[in-house]
A and B are shown apart, each in its own frame.
Chain A
Amino acid sequence: MYPTKTQMFIPRPARGATLLLIDSRREPMMIALSGSATIGGAYPASDRDIQLQSEIVSKRHGEFYYDNSADAYYYIDNNSLNGTFVNGVKLQPYNERGSRALRLNDGDVLRIDRSDLRHPHPQAVLMIFSRSFEPDEEWRVVNLSNRFKVTIGRDSSCAIRVSDPMASRVHAEIYLTEKGVMIYDNKSTNGVLVNSHRISGSAYLQLNDVIRVANTTIIFRGGYVLFNNPGEKSGCLSVNIHDQTFGKHTIIRDVRFEADTKDFILVLGGSGAGKTTLINAVLGVVKANGSVILDGQSLYDNFRSLKSQVGLVPQFVNLRKNDKVYATLMDTADIRLPHFTKQEKIERIDAILKKLGVSELKNRLIGRLSGGQQKKISVAVQLIGYQKVFILDEPDSGLDPASREQQMEILRSIADDGKIVMVVSHASEEGFNDDEQRYLFSKVLVLAKSVRDNCGELAFFGSTEDALQFFGVQSLKEIIIEINPPNEGGNGKADYYIDKFRGR
């Protein structure tokens, strides 16, 4: 039965975000956002949370608004004199308060500047909104004045060293020319983005241009560049799906969530709730109406370069049964890690096999392994290539309970290594750690099929503890009973929880 009493609303603590702030009159700084915050000029008696020194900033310039129910940050320009640009587009006045609230994604670039961004104001302000930057992220400086050329890439000789395997050895070069400073894409595999647009060959840089090379952000400051190097760790996965239709039928709608590095997410849902559709949308295999942002870059817009960062371990093993484990992994390493020496590849393969507890299988034929062992080899193949996001579709199907538990522990440890792991599974209880009396999953995503229009919608996304509280259940497996229709043995409360989650 539906509750008849109004429930007390207890807001969850705001999830953090970080702002890299480059104000013209002071050193670049990182600002941790832990909820809504206002910005404005540093005038006497200013009540703004973030006070900027630049003279082109209005007293009440704008505000970051945190929406607790959507766990999302929005930005509103308070009809300021010079306005705010988000990713190169100026926010327009909407009402007396200001512009429409614009939902911010990881890596969005906000600028307070002249109308023509090609001729930036000397006191322009740059803010990069991020859910991947650490508050104590190290930013380094490379001076351009005493150099003719600055190299960017994975090679140790590069002035701007990028550890992300997505970067090429010498990925790009910055040149000082008579006409200005130019960035040149050195025929890199994954390209160079300047202000979110992939450049073709080369491009001249303007003050405060934001360059992305793999997961490294580089900011052009005229006489110098500022850059970070997040290494191999995954950043933030931000999924914002308005809908996904097939023909005239909408399969899923309004699925928004954000995952951080080390998140181990359980995806729950009854049959027909759209789990496979969601997986395909996150993989970019079937692009949904919406966006998938990985490390501040749109997967859909940069599919060719980013697709390999999101790996799928399918429900059914996709391996050549007549090949040996070691040969399969070495071939994968040969293709995906061309810059590694033979010895480095051997060490990586051995480390992965050891982590998955299958070192003794390396000389066995894949076809002669058990179902569980084959699934572990599938995971090993995906691990070879330094993916940032792993999606596993029912990895526990066909496994005995002991193997399932072990597999969940392995997946947890993969997430702990700095990855984002999403697992679609009906065996949620195998993810319960008896010793610690808690689930191994850090978050739970529940898709429920609405009875109103047969469309899968988000019924919950949050921590496992919040999930149990939200559904009023003792274990995760009971969530499925709550949302499943009565003819599938459930309580038929899908729409109730969809509405409840939306209205939180």
Chain B
Amino acid sequence: MQTASFFKQTHVYFKKVTRISIREKAWIYLAFAVIIALIVNLVTASDMFENLDSTKSGFFTMASACIWIGVFNSIQSICKEHDIIRSEYRQGTKLSSYVCAHVLWQAVLCFVQSLIIFTVCLCFGFFGDSFDNGVIFHPLAEYFITVFLLTFGAAVLGLMVSSFSGTPTTAMKIMPFVLIIQLILSGVLFELTGLAEGAAVITFSKWGMAAFGSIGDLNTLEPKIASELADKIPNFDKSIVAVTDDAFQHEAGNLLASWGWCLGLTAVFVLIAILSLKLKNRDS
């Protein structure tokens, strides 16, 4: 039986996924984005760009929120349809089209969510008030791109987990581990060495932090301890406690590399999701 081409099938499944998602109250995901962005801003926005520590914490919280939102968007979307997929695959569905349709829908959803997060952040002054030194584009555009890439990448990560999880229950059991790994390997909570440092390369949190740090030029901010010591010690040389990180270099190459890693990981996770489904349905 000749079936529709990859692009045609992707189009058909994209329409289907969009239609069903809207019917399944996709606005809830948008509401989550509003609520989480509000919470993050209420807690962190006032201290942003005061010093290195609070700004880094703010960016870390924002990156974590984006990852959480993204993973939550998609973690159940494929695993709840395994029986349907098996039947449709037998009848000619291309699994690559099916996964790509979900990826496209997540791109749309994450774009809207990123707009919401970005707007809330702007209202609360999360991104500061000085926007004259963008790395490549205007800093606000760079922040938006980073928020989108993180949310979208995490959504694709969720799709990948969903593709090899047998049931939604299993997927929800795996989800906390995925999030914890992202938090631990971000390099913000703990200094990473050895194997952990290598493993961190495959986390969105690391590259998200690097991008935020680069745009916000974290290396120019003083650590909190510097001003505390300066208050206590007259003529204290703040450069003694200054901390710089190569990952936060305010350079186009650094920012592009961070974005590139996010996109690369997203692409790899798409491929793994397709392969995982193919393996699951190899007998069908």
Evaluate contact between A323 and B20: CB separation under 8 angstroms.
Answer: yes
Q: Taking A168-B2, A320-B20, A385-B1 as contacts, is the C-beta distance between A338 and B90 under 8 angstroms? A: no
Question: Which residues of chain B come closer than 8 Å to A190, judged between CB atoms?
Answer: 1-2
Q: Taking A189-B2, A323-B16, A336-B1 as contacts, is the C-beta distance between A318 and B91 under 8 angstroms? A: no
Q: Which of A286, A311, A338, A386 contacts B5 (CB 8 A)?
A: A338
B20 (CB) vs chain A CBs: closest residue: A322
Evaluate contact between B84 and A320: CB separation under 8 angstroms.
Answer: yes
Cα A188 to Cα B3 in complex, Å, equals: 11
Evaluate contact between A334 and B12: CB separation under 8 angstroms.
Answer: yes
Interface centre among A318, A335, A365 (most CB of B within 10 A): A335
A313 (CB) vs chain B CBs: closest residue: B87
Evaluate contact between A165 and B1: CB separation under 8 angstroms.
Answer: yes
Evaluate contact between B87 and A323: CB separation under 8 angstroms.
Answer: no
Q: List residues 7-26 of chain B with CB under 8 A from any CB of chain A.
A: 8-9, 12-13, 15-16, 19-20, 23-24
A368 to chain B, nearest CB (A): 12
B81 to chain A, nearest CB (A): 7
Evaluate contact between B3 and A189: CB separation under 8 angstroms.
Answer: yes
A100 near B: Cβ within 8 Å? no
Question: Which residues of chain B come closer than 8 Å to A311, judged between CB atoms?
Answer: 90-91
Evaluate contact between B20 and A331: CB separation under 8 angstroms.
Answer: no
Judged by DSSP, the binding face of A is: loop
Cα A379 to Cα B88 in complex, Å, equals: 13
A61-78 vs B, Cβ < 8 Å mask (1 yes, 0 no): 000000000000000000
Question: Which residues of chain B come closer than 8 Å to A309, judged between CB atoms?
Answer: 1
Evaluate contact between B90 and A308: CB separation under 8 angstroms.
Answer: yes
Q: Which of B3, B13, B24 contacts A338 (CB 8 A)?
A: B3
Q: Which of B23, B81, B90 contacts A307 (CB 8 A)?
A: B90
B92 near A: Cβ within 8 Å? yes
A339 (CB) vs chain B CBs: closest residue: B2
A150 near B: Cβ within 8 Å? no
Question: Which residues of chain B come closer than 8 Å to A165, judged between CB atoms?
Answer: 1-2
B93 near A: Cβ within 8 Å? yes
A326 to chain B, nearest CB (A): 12
A319-341 vs B, Cβ < 8 Å mask (1 yes, 0 no): 11011000100011011101100
Q: Which of A312, A327, A335 contacts B87 (CB 8 A)?
A: A312
B4 near A: Cβ within 8 Å? yes
Question: Which residues of chain A come closer than 8 Å to B15, judged between CB atoms?
Answer: 331
Question: Which residues of chain B come closer than 8 Å to A448, judged between CB atoms?
Answer: none
The number of inter-chain residue pairs (CB within 8 angstroms) is 85
Question: Which residues of chain B come closer than 8 Å to A314, judged between CB atoms?
Answer: 83, 87
Question: Which residues of chain B come closer than 8 Å to A327, judged between CB atoms?
Answer: 16, 19
Question: Which residues of chain B come closer than 8 Å to A141, judged between CB atoms?
Answer: none
Cα A335 to Cα B92 in complex, Å, equals: 7
A285 near B: Cβ within 8 Å? yes
Cα A84 to Cα B19 in complex, Å, equals: 61
Q: List residues 75-117 of chain B with CB under 8 A from any CB of chain A.
A: 81, 83-84, 86-88, 90-93
Question: Which residues of chain B come closer than 8 Å to A189, judged between CB atoms?
Answer: 1-3
Evaluate contact between B1 and A308: CB separation under 8 angstroms.
Answer: yes
Q: List residues 156-203 of chain A with CB under 8 A from any CB of chain B.
A: 165-169, 188-190
B283 near A: Cβ within 8 Å? yes
Evaluate contact between A318 and B3: CB separation under 8 angstroms.
Answer: no
Q: Which of B12, B23, B88 contacts A322 (CB 8 A)?
A: B23
Q: Which of B3, B24, B84 contacts A336 (CB 8 A)?
A: B3
Evaluate contact between B283 and A285: CB separation under 8 angstroms.
Answer: yes
Evaluate contact between A323 and B19: CB separation under 8 angstroms.
Answer: yes
Cα A319 to Cα B90 in complex, Å, equals: 14
B284 near A: Cβ within 8 Å? yes
Question: Which residues of chain A come closer than 8 Å to B93, judged between CB atoms?
Answer: 335
Question: Which residues of chain B come closer than 8 Å to A322, judged between CB atoms?
Answer: 20, 23-24
Question: Which residues of chain A come closer than 8 Å to B92, judged between CB atoms?
Answer: 308, 335-336, 385
Question: Which residues of chain B come closer than 8 Å to A188, judged between CB atoms?
Answer: 2
Question: Which residues of chain A come closer than 8 Å to B91, judged between CB atoms?
Answer: 308, 311, 332, 335-336, 382, 385
A285 (CB) vs chain B CBs: closest residue: B283
Cα A314 to Cα B81 in complex, Å, equals: 14
B101 to chain A, nearest CB (A): 11
B178-191 vs A, Cβ < 8 Å mask (1 yes, 0 no): 00000000000000
Question: Which residues of chain A come closer than 8 Å to B88, judged between CB atoms?
Answer: 335
Question: Which residues of chain A come closer than 8 Å to B83, judged between CB atoms?
Answer: 314, 316, 318
Evaluate contact between B23 and A331: CB separation under 8 angstroms.
Answer: no
A490 to chain B, nearest CB (A): 32
Cα A308 to Cα B284 in complex, Å, equals: 10
Question: Which residues of chain A come closer than 8 Å to B4, judged between CB atoms?
Answer: 334-336, 338
Cα A314 to Cα B82 in complex, Å, equals: 14
Cα A331 to Cα B148 in complex, Å, equals: 30
Q: List residues 101-151 of chain A with CB under 8 A from any CB of chain B.
A: none
Question: Which residues of chain A come closer than 8 Å to B2, judged between CB atoms?
Answer: 165-169, 188-190, 338-339
Cα A165 to Cα B1 in complex, Å, equals: 6
Question: Which residues of chain B come closer than 8 Å to A323, judged between CB atoms?
Answer: 16, 19-20, 23
Evaluate contact between B84 and A318: CB separation under 8 angstroms.
Answer: yes
Interface centre among A167, A286, A327, A336 (most CB of B within 10 A): A336
Q: List residues 283-321 of chain A with CB under 8 A from any CB of chain B.
A: 283, 285-286, 305, 307-309, 311-312, 314, 316, 318-320
B25 to chain A, nearest CB (A): 10
Evaluate contact between B12 and A338: CB separation under 8 angstroms.
Answer: no
B155 to chain A, nearest CB (A): 20
Question: Which residues of chain B come closer than 8 Å to A382, judged between CB atoms?
Answer: 91
B187 to chain A, nearest CB (A): 41
Q: Taking A331-B12, A334-B8 as contacts, is the C-beta distance between A318 and B87 under 8 angstroms? A: yes
User: Which are the 10 A-B pairs with shortest beta-carbon distances?
Assistant: A338-B4, A308-B1, A189-B2, A334-B12, A322-B23, A318-B83, A322-B20, A318-B84, A318-B87, A335-B4
Given contacts A283-B90, A323-B20, 6 further A-B contacts (CB under 8 A): A309-B1, A312-B87, A314-B83, A318-B83, A320-B81, A331-B12
Selected A-B contacts with CB under 8 Å, 8 pairs = A165-B1, A189-B3, A311-B90, A320-B16, A322-B23, A338-B4, A385-B1, A385-B92
